[in-house]
Structure 1
Amino acid sequence: MTAALLRITEREGLEAVSVRTVAAEAGCSAGAVQRYFSTKDEMLHFALRTVVEQERERIRHIRLGPDGLPFRDALRAAILELLPLDEHRLGEARIWAAFYARAAVSPEFAAALDELNREARDNLRAAFSYAESTGELRPGQDHDALAQLLVAIMDGLMWSILMHPSGAQKDHLAAVDAAVNLITG
């Protein structure tokens, strides 16, 4: 059922998600879907949580530090891993985009995104502090502002790729390199 929910959301957006469409996609009854999800919003939150877990799992393997990558390389690898640069991640980005659109009019959805953005900024600030302590980041920079800037850059790149998924990948990669150079320069 999870796969069916994600396929519909990736392919057609949140508007297409319903008990009926998920049941049809999964090849089961509407009652079977309703045993897991009592509302459409529950399905949508579940889709986002699933995508977030998939992304966390992918970046968990990027090691920063003495036994891992230098800060610059780890930062670049993490950004690239989160951008929709292949079909699977493009589907994930469509779920993010649909959730962002819903958050623009729903305080509950906005609160969920605020929590995820706060977590991302906390992780970035920790990485920036580590990099500053090892001399890989210029001292005295505002880690809060850098984290906010990087989240905004990544969101902008995601939207740009979503709007033009088959083109300009070279430009997007150049933008990633420019962002990493700006932060670590």
Structure 2
Amino acid sequence: MGRVPKRVDHAERRELIVEALMRVAASGGLEAISLRHVAAEAGVTTGMVQHYFATKDDLMRFALHGIMERTTARVNAAMARLPQPLTPADTVRTLLTTLLPLDEERRADGRVGLAFLAYAAVEPSAAELLRDSTRQMAAFMADQIRAARAAGEASATVDAEAAGAGLLAAMEGLSIYVLGGYYTPETALRALDAHLTMIFTSRPA
């Protein structure tokens, strides 16, 4: 009887390659990325990387999707750990603090995220993906603020859309300052909480 060929898990291989790209980007920025460098980091051949991703841009777009999926999973896990049901204030704070680079894992992802922002400036498909993600996140926060307003847990005069956009911008700016070493994680968290208390009358957990 002949040997049974080993079954290849293509999804696992693609994930292995994307994780390698993220490590390369976290340590050296996107300028350090090439199919050869990613292959070396993943411990596979350049030919194998090219089998799944014909070009560097294909690899970058897939990696961006992977980062967004991983971030969504992290946020969902953080939400699930809190006492249920969540208030709108708890939901917004958990979302934003999970995205802040408050520990080494999130700092590594944050460095890659900044690199992808620069990449999106010259790659239209990546820019559109990031715009969609930003619009969805801002809309979600606006919905939570409206829900808090209806429940008497936010100022009746707060502009939900503007406040949601402002919170998102505050989180992004604080993230950049933490990654640059200008703010400590503790300072960033205090600043974010100060913004939240200007919107929500109930104190987030």
TM-score, normalization by structure 1: 0.89
Structure 2 distance, partners of 1:32, 1:151, is 39
> Which residue of structure 2 aligns with residue 29 of structure 1?
45
Structure 1 distance, partners of 2:186, 2:76, is 26
> Which residue of structure 2 aligns with residue 8 of structure 1?
24
Post-superposition offset of 1:73: 2.8
Tell me the amino acid that sits aligned with residue 175 of structure 2. Answer: M
Gaps of 5+ in 2: 1-16
Post-superposition offset of 1:74: 2.8
> Which residue of structure 1 aligns with residue 7 of structure 2?
none
Alignment of 1:18-167 (within 5 A): 18-61=34-77, 62=79, 67-164=84-181
Post-superposition offset of 1:75: 2.2
| Cα-to-partner distance string for 1:141-162 (whole Å, 9 max, x where unaligned) | 2211111111110110111111
| Cα-to-partner distance string for 1:35-68 (whole Å, 9 max, x where unaligned) | 11111112112222111111111222416xx932
Post-superposition offset of 1:163: 0.3
Structure 1 distance, partners of 2:152, 2:84, is 16
- Percent sequence identity is 36
For 2:198, what is the secondary structure of its paired residue? helix
Preserved CA contact (<8 Å) 1:23 1:30: yes
TM-score, normalization by structure 2: 0.81
For 1:129, what is the secondary structure of its paired residue? helix
Tell me the amino acid that sits aligned with residue 111 of structure 1. Answer: E
May I ask how many residue pairs the two structures share in their alignment? 182
Tell me the amino acid that sits aligned with residue 59 of structure 2. Answer: M
Tell me the amino acid that sits aligned with residue 95 of structure 1. Answer: V
Preserved CA contact (<8 Å) 1:124 1:147: yes
> Which residue of structure 2 aligns with residue 174 of structure 1?
190
Gaps of 5+ in 1: none
| Cα-to-partner distance string for 1:122-159 (whole Å, 9 max, x where unaligned) | 21122122222222122242211111111110110111
Larger radius of gyration: 2
Preserved CA contact (<8 Å) 1:48 1:95: no
Post-superposition offset of 1:171: 1.2
Tell me the amino acid that sits aligned with residue 16 of structure 1. Answer: A
Structure 2 distance, partners of 1:83, 1:93, is 8
Post-superposition offset of 1:33: 0.1
For 2:155, what is the secondary structure of its paired residue? coil
For 1:184, what is the secondary structure of its paired residue? coil
Tell me the amino acid that sits aligned with residue 44 of structure 1. Answer: M
CA RMSD of aligned residues (A): 1.9
| Cα-to-partner distance string for 1:53-111 (whole Å, 9 max, x where unaligned) | 11111222416xx9323332332222111111111111111111001112223333322
